[in-house]
Amino acid sequence: MQETFAKSNPWEGRDSRVTLRGPKTRLVMSVDLDRCIGCFSCEISCKMQKDLPVGPRLMRVIQIGPYKVKAHGSFQLRTVYMPLNCRHCEPAPCIEVCPTGAMQRREKDGIVFVAQELCIGCKSCIAACPFGAPQLDPRNGKIVKCDYCMDRVDKGLLPACVTKCSMDALRFGNINELSTVSREKHVRMLTADLFDWKTSQI
């Protein structure tokens, strides 16, 4: 007779919530579209932090709508705002096509950045990126992109866009922690009729 409990599936239970296994850390940014109100604070703080001229926007807020949705038996107008920055893909197309190795990834946290001294402004990364993250700096003809303000991250600070988000729509941190927060939110939404969740908890 078996006296101890043994999982039949090694990914069952709490371990299954982990998105990235092993000692490696990966930093990511998540966006809560239900919270974003399109105030563009993230765009402004990003341009100020990076001292960017008119043109390149490393953080862009895309407006979707207004469009009609059916709610409570009638149609209402709804607008969604989508903050869009570099996704730091893995594998990253911009790194694969860069002829000089200017596009690089930090091993310790997965941040993709541009080594300005190696960039020749060939725009290969612009053509390869599906999100339009790499952009040309008209002042020097080189590429700039979101690097999660890695100089701030190295000091234990959050990226500039996250610190200025008044609605807490942008969150930054370890992928395992943020994916757990996202899962918990969806569970609260699905069980709203069963439990008395507060609006702030959803």
- For every one of its 202 residues, what pLDDT tens digit does the chain have, with 9 covering 90 and above? 334 434 444 444 455 555 556 556 889 999 988 889 999 999 999 999 999 999 999 999 999 989 888 877 888 888 999 999 999 998 999 999 999 999 999 999 999 999 999 999 999 999 999 999 999 999 999 999 999 999 999 999 999 999 999 998 999 988 888 877 777 776 777 777 776 656 555 5
List the structure tokens of 23.
Answer: 């000692």
List the structure tokens of 92.
Answer: 């990253």
Nearest 5 degrees, angle CA 141-CA 146-CA 147? 110
The runs of H, that is alpha helices, within 56-194 are 93-97, 124-128, 150-153, 160-163, 175-190
Distance of CA 193 to the CA centre of its chain: 30
d(CA 103, CA 117): 11
Contacts of 44 (CB under 8 A, 6+ apart): 164
Q: How many Cα atoms within 13 Å fall on the side-chain side of residue 40? A: 7
Give the residue among 14, 17, 4, 37 at the shortest CA–CA distance from 177.
17
Residue 68 buriedness (CB in 10 A; 0-12 / 13-18 / 19+):
exposed
Domains, the chain, in order of start with CATH, read 22-192 (3.30.70.20)
Phi, psi of 66 (to 5 degrees): -75, 150
Q: Are 169 and 83 in contact (CB under 8 A)?
A: yes
Q: What pTM was computed for the model?
A: 0.77
**What pLDDT, on a 0 to 100 scale, did the predictor assign at position 5?**
36
Q: How many Cα atoms within 13 Å fall on the side-chain side of residue 116? A: 10
Q: Are 81 and 36 in contact (CB under 8 A)?
A: yes
Give the residue among 174, 179, 151, 149 at the shortest CA–CA distance from 163.
149
d(CA 75, CA 52): 41
